[in-house]
Structure 1
Amino acid sequence: MSEEPDRRVVLRARGLAAGYPGACAAVFEGIDLDLRAGEIVAVLGASGVGKSSLLRVLAGLQPFARGTIEMDGAPLAGVHPRVAVAFQDASLLPWLTLERNVAYGLNFSRQPASGPDERRRRVDRAIAEVGLDHARHLRPAQLSGGMAQRAALARCLARQPSVLLLDEPFGALDEVTRAGMQQLLIKVVADFRAATLLITHDIDEALAVADRVLLLGGSPGRLAAQWPVTLPQPRENCLHELGALRVEVLTRLRDALRQAQAPAAGPVSLPV
């Protein structure tokens, strides 16, 4: 019999609140969130509700005012070497080859010590995982948009992350390339067992890839609803079921948007 996949909670947030730097009002408040190994959690919400701020807080790139974040049961404060982040811009260094971009940062002081053979093994596996062996000696200017995002994903994977945080990484891609990247994401999360948070504005993308879909809404942003998505992959074979769920998610998203636009009772103050 095959072993059950690892589904432990890797990242846990409780009562999390944060605001924009220099502001006294919260952008999101009271967030409770568990990310499990091998799970993709998609976060939807209207513009300005705090989706990207939540990701930056979890990544250690932005401070938070209240609450706790734990990784594998230990407090998480600041950037962690096993938390990898990718954004809509692939941010590849133009003077480095794809291979060297993927390897970039593996010998930084925050990274666990590893020898050159181990770093080479990680880079080779990451490049092979995203299907770019043929392009490893190309420079970013020679890559298509989809190839650049594959390289950015490989750079994350080379760090062997326990947590993968993605902020609309496929938003600038054409529809066909984007669909291919979504299927690649499903594959690499299954292979690397990373606990993955995907920020997206696209309901169809969330339903295509996620094991759970969360809706961030209100002012300040709160988790307004969530849906488990248990349909098997590939989900284009489940269009009827996805259509019904899509209507439900869209209805709740519109409700959350109307609530956010309604006059607020007053700002939630953060410690200054």
Structure 2
Amino acid sequence: MQSAPVLEAQHLTLRYPGSSSPVLADFDFALAPGEIVSVLGPSGVGKSSLLRVLAGLQAPSAGTVRLEQAPLREVHPRVAIAFQNPGLLPWLTLERNVAFGLDFKRQPLLSREERQIRVDAAIAEVGLSHARKLHPAALSGGMAQRTAIARCLARKPRVLLLDEPLGALDEVTRGEMQRLLLKVVADFRTATVIITHDIDEALLLSDRVILLGGTPAREIGQWCIDLPKPREDYIAEVGAVRIEILTTLRQAVRQH
């Protein structure tokens, strides 16, 4: 029996004030527990706008978003979001930056012991227990991004939304972070949406890839990647899907 979606959007439309056309139009989406979905598309197509709506940071002009079958109309403690910029507070240690996420709006009230258990577990999950007393200025780019993910995990989210989280990292660090994300999702069973420009990254990490295109943005392609992870040993199979995605994207750009 298929699990009910943990996050679902129906007929989403988003129009900004003063705009002649919507950014998104009649977009449907469903995210299963533990699933990783990557959203691809050209720059400016509306990927980040979509993520903001799914996070409850932006109200849609029409349509609905539901979290565990309940309407999502604002930020929710079970939905965590991380951006390309880790957004760490420079005057706080790594440990206190992770704990800071527990003070966000509508977070459940926790005892000091419960908070510490959550923070310790999140820091350990991303492999930074040795650096917990460091300040952001002493962290590498990869460590800062791990800290941002730990801040999300401390909230025990059902849904993790990532907006170009690895875009500013070098290739080696990016590979390490990709492996970390797979581990985090496997350990926490956190349903995850990744916004990325990197087709290869999407193919390596995702159970499903959605391609946005057009004005207003719509889904112009979707691929289920039914291959074991990690996928470095499935070059031919992944390469075939990559060609399909590139072909669809190029056709959409020409039509536009």
Q: Report the TM range for the smaller structure's normalisation.
A: over 0.9
CA deviation profile, 1:3-42 (whole Å, cap 9, x unmatched): x9x9441000000010234424201111110011111000
What SS is found at the alignment partner of 1:236? Answer: coil
Tell me what 1:210 maps to.
206
Structure 2 residue 41 is the aligned partner of structure 1 residue 23 = no
Contact 1:7–1:38 (CA<8 Å) still a contact in 2? Answer: no
Structure 2 residue 34 is the aligned partner of structure 1 residue 41 = no
Residues 71-220 of structure 1: pairs in structure 2 closer than 5 A: 71-220=67-216
Deviates more, 1:14-23 or 1:179-188: 14-23
Contact 2:77–2:105 (CA<8 Å) still a contact in 1? Answer: no
Letter in 2 for 1:221: A
1:253, CA displacement in angstroms?
1.1
Contact 2:75–2:105 (CA<8 Å) still a contact in 1? Answer: no
Tell me what 2:224 maps to.
228
What SS is found at the alignment partner of 2:102? Answer: coil
| Structure 1 residue ranges, 4+ long, deviating more than 6 angstroms after superposition | none
1:114, CA displacement in angstroms?
1.4
- Structure 1 108/53 Cα, relative in aligned 2: closer, same or farther at 3 Å? closer
- Structure 1 91/65 Cα, relative in aligned 2: closer, same or farther at 3 Å? same
Unaligned ranges ≥5, structure 2: none
- Structure 1 237/126 Cα, relative in aligned 2: closer, same or farther at 3 Å? same
CA deviation profile, 1:188-208 (whole Å, cap 9, x unmatched): 011111111100000000000
Tell me what 1:250 maps to.
246
CA deviation profile, 1:218-241 (whole Å, cap 9, x unmatched): 110001110000110110010111
Mapped partners of 1:242, 1:187: distance in 2: 20
1:258, CA displacement in angstroms?
1.9
Tell me what 1:61 maps to.
57
CA deviation profile, 1:37-89 (whole Å, cap 9, x unmatched): 11100000011111000001111112210111111111110111111000000
Unaligned ranges ≥5, structure 1: 262-272
Mapped partners of 1:117, 1:202: distance in 2: 40
1:109, CA displacement in angstroms?
5.0
Q: Calculate percent identity across the aligned residue pairs.
A: 64
TM-score in terms of structure 1 length = 0.91
TM-score in terms of structure 2 length = 0.97
Question: Paired residue for 1:50, among 46, 50, 75?
Answer: 46
Letter in 1 for 2:206: A
Letter in 2 for 1:258: R
1:108, CA displacement in angstroms?
4.2
Contact 2:164–2:197 (CA<8 Å) still a contact in 1? Answer: yes
Contact 2:101–2:152 (CA<8 Å) still a contact in 1? Answer: no
Q: For this pair of structures, how many residues does the alignment match?
A: 256
Letter in 2 for 1:76: L
